[in-house]
C-alpha cells in the first residue's frame, strides 16, 4: 500500500518508522517531512495545512491510505477532504477534531455528560472576565479557546498575573483570534498522565500511559515547551486508576461524541491529572502527542498500519493492539535558547548503531547533503528496555553522542517517575 503521512516532526518520524515495519506498507511519503525523515520516507514539500495540496498529491500518487498527524490539518478538515475523494485516512473528521480545536467545546461537552474536569467559566467579554477575577479562587488557570500552538494556557499564581493574562489574550490578542473567547478554570493539583488511545467510535483501546516533561529546564524550571522528554509507562497510572479512567472518562467521552453526532475515529489523547478526588481531564488532543508518541509507539508490538486501517473503518478490536511490558524513555535534544530565541543551521552528527535506540528527528533539514538544525527541538533519542532505569540509561548514552553546536537537553527526564517507582518498592 502507498501511504502518505501528513506532518513533519519527531512524532511523524516515529509513526513512519513504525509503519515501515507493517506487513502491507509500500512506499511512504511525508508531507512535508524533514531532513531526518527523508532517510525513511520520501519528503514532499507540501505544508501540513495545505489541504488542497495534500488532496491533489494523494490523488496523483496513488495513495491508498493517509495518516494525518498534526492538530491543525485535522481541525481544518483534512480527513474529510481526503475521504471526499475516496482516500481512506486515519484521524478524526473536522466535526470531531473540535474536541481539541475549541476548549469551550470540550469543557461544555464534559459538563453536559458529567465527565470529571476542572470547574470553569467561559467569557467573551473582557470586562466580565476581569470582574469575575476579583473574587475568583487563586491560583487560577486562563485558557484561550482555540489552538494556540500549546501556548494558550496561563497558570496564574496571583490575581495580578490572572488580570495580565486576560488583558494579553483578549485585548492584545497575543494568541490571535484564539483568545477572543477564554476559559477561566479551577486550578487542579496532582501528578499528570498522558493516555493516548485508539478509538473507532465504538471501542476505546488505551495505549501504554506516558509522562511528558513540559518545562525547558531541569527541576521543571523555565518556560513551557512542546515537551523536552517523555517516559512510558507512567507509574502514576496504576491498574486502579486505569479502570476508573475507562469507566469515568474514556467511554463517557466517546459516547458523548457519538451522542453529539461527532463520532471520533483516530487517536484520542487524554491529558489527565490524578487529583485527590480521582482522575480529571486537563485537556483532550485529537491526535498523537509529541513527544509522547516517541515512547508509546516503540512499545507497540502489533502492526500499526493494520490498527490504523481498522480504526478508520470502525472495525477495531481490543485484540488488535498489544504493547510490550517493557519501558521507554525519550530525551529531546534542543538548540540552546529554545523555546525563545535559538540559532539554526548547525550541522548535526548522529551516532550509529545504538542498542534498542532510535533517533526521531524533529527540527532539521538537509543542506547540501548535510543535516542541519532548523527548529528548536531538534530530535529525540528514544530507547526501550525491560525497566525504566535501563531505558533512561540508554537514551542518555545516545543523547550524549548527538553532536551539534549549542545542543542541550534536560538531565532529569524520568527522575520523577523513578522516584515514584522507588517509593512504591519501599
Nearest to 388 by CA among 276, 274, 285, 234: 234
Answer yes or no: are the C-beta atoms of 185 and 282 closer than 8 Å.
no
Cα(72)–Cα(68) distance, rounded to whole angstroms? 10
Nearer to ligand GLY among residue 146 and residue 170 (C-beta):
146
Select from 59-67, 181-189, 344-352, 356-364 the region that touches ligand AMP (CB under 6 A): 181-189
Query: Is 328 buried (19+), middle (13-18) or exposed (0-12) by CB count in 10 A?
Result: buried
Min dist. Cβ of residue 201 to ligand GLY (A): 22
For residue 360, which phi and psi values (nearest 5 degrees)? Answer: -105, 115
Nearest to 110 by CA among 289, 288, 316, 279: 279
Nearer to ligand GLY among residue 212 and residue 358 (C-beta):
212
Tell me the per-residue interface mask from 281 to 320 with ligand GLY, x by CB under 6 A, - otherwise: ----x---xx-x----------------------------
Nearer to ligand AMP among residue 155 and residue 217 (C-beta):
155
Select from 3-11, 182-190, 234-242, 246-254 the region that touches ligand AMP (CB under 6 A): 182-190
Answer yes or no: are the C-beta atoms of 379 and 328 closer than 8 Å.
no
- Which among ligand GLY, ligand AMP, none contacts residue 50 (Cβ within 5 to 8 A by kind)? none
Select from 74-82, 148-156, 170-178, 391-399 the region that touches ligand AMP (CB under 6 A): 148-156
Answer yes or no: are the C-beta atoms of 108 and 119 closer than 8 Å.
no
Nearer to ligand AMP among residue 283 and residue 303 (C-beta):
283
- Which among ligand AMP, ligand GLY, none contacts residue 289 (Cβ within 5 to 8 A by kind)? ligand GLY
Nearer to ligand GLY among residue 181 and residue 377 (C-beta):
377
DSSP characters over 143-180: EESS--TT--EEEESSHHHHHHHHIIIIIS-TTGGGGS
Nearest to 120 by CA among 142, 151, 153: 142
Which residue ranges make up the site for ligand GLY (CB under 6 A)? 150, 212, 227, 285, 289-290, 292
Where does this chain bind ligand AMP (CB under 6 A)?
A: 118, 141, 150, 153, 155, 185-188, 192, 214, 271, 282-283
Amino acid at each position: 500500500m502507498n501511504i502518505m503521512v501528513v506532518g513533519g516532526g519527531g512524532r511523524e518520524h516515529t509513526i513512519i518508522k513504525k509503519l515501515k515495519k507493517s506487513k502491507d506498507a509500500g512506499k511512504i511519503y511525508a508531507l512535508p517531512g524533514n531532513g531526518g525523515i527523508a532517510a525513511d520516507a520520501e519528503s514532499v514539500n507540501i505544508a501540513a495545512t495545505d489541504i488542497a495540496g495534500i488532496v491533489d498529491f494523494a490523488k496523483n500518487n496513488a495513495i491508498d491510505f493517509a495518516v494525518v498527524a498534526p492538530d491543525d490539518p485535522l481541525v481544518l478538515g483534512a480527513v474529510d477532504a481526503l475521504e471526499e475523494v475516496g482516500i481512506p485516512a486515519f484521524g478524526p473528521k473536522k466535526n470531531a477534531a473540535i474536541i481539541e480545536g475549541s476548549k469551550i467545546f470540550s469543557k461544555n461537552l464534559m459538563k453536559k455528560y458529567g465527565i470529571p474536569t476542572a470547574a470553569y467559566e467561559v467569557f467573551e467579554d473582557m470586562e466580565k472576565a476581569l470582574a469575575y477575577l476579583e473574587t475568583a479562587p487563586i491560583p487560577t488557570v486562563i485558557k484561550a479557546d482555540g489552538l494556540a500552538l500549546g501556548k494558550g494556557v496561563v497558570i496564574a499564581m496571583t490575581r495580578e498575573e490572572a488580570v495580565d493574562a486576560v488583558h494579553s489574550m483578549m485585548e492584545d490578542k497575543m494568541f490571535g483570534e484564539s483568545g477572543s473567547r477564554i476559559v477561566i478554570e479551577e486550578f487542579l493539583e496532582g501528578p499528570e498522565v498522558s493516555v493516548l488511545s485508539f478509538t473507532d467510535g465504538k471501542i476505546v483501546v488505551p495505549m501504554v500511559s506516558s509522562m511528558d516533561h513540559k518545562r525547558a529546564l531541569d527541576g521543571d524550571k523555565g518556560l513551557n515547551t512542546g515537551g523536552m522528554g517523555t517516559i512510558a509507562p507512567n507509574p502514576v497510572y496504576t491498574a486502579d486508576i486505569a479502570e476508573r479512567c475507562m469507566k469515568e472518562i474514556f467511554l463517557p467521552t466517546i459516547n458523548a461524541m457519538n451522542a453529539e453526532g461527532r463520532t471520533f475515529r483516530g487517536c484520542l489523547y487524554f491529558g489527565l491529572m490524578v487529583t485527590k478526588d480521582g482522575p480529571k481531564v486537563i485537556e483532550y488532543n485529537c491526535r498523537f502527542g509529541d513527544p509522547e508518541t516517541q515512547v508509546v509507539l516503540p512499545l507497540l508490538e502489533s502492526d500499526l498500519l493494520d490498527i490504523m486501517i481498522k480504526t478508520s473503518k470502525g472495525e477495531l478490536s481490543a485484540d488488535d493492539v498489544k504493547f510490550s511490558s517493557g519501558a521507554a524513555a525519550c530525551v529531546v535534544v534542543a538548540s540552546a535558547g529554545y523555546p525563545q530565541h535559538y540559532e539554526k543551521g548547525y550541522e548535526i552528527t548522529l551516532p550509529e548503531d545504538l542498542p534498542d535506540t532510535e533517533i526521531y528527528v524533529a527540527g532539521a533539514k538537509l543542506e547540501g547533503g548535510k543535516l542541519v538544525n532548523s527548529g528548536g527541538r531538534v530530535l529525540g533519542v528514544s530507547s526501550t528496555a525491560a525497566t525504566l532505569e535501563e531505558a533512561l540509561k540508554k537514551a542518555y548514552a545516545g543523547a550524549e553522542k548527538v553532536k551539534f553546536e549549542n545542543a542541550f537537553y534536560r538531565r532529569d527526564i524520568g527522575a520523577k517517575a523513578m522516584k515514584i517507582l522507588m517509593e512504591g518498592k519501599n
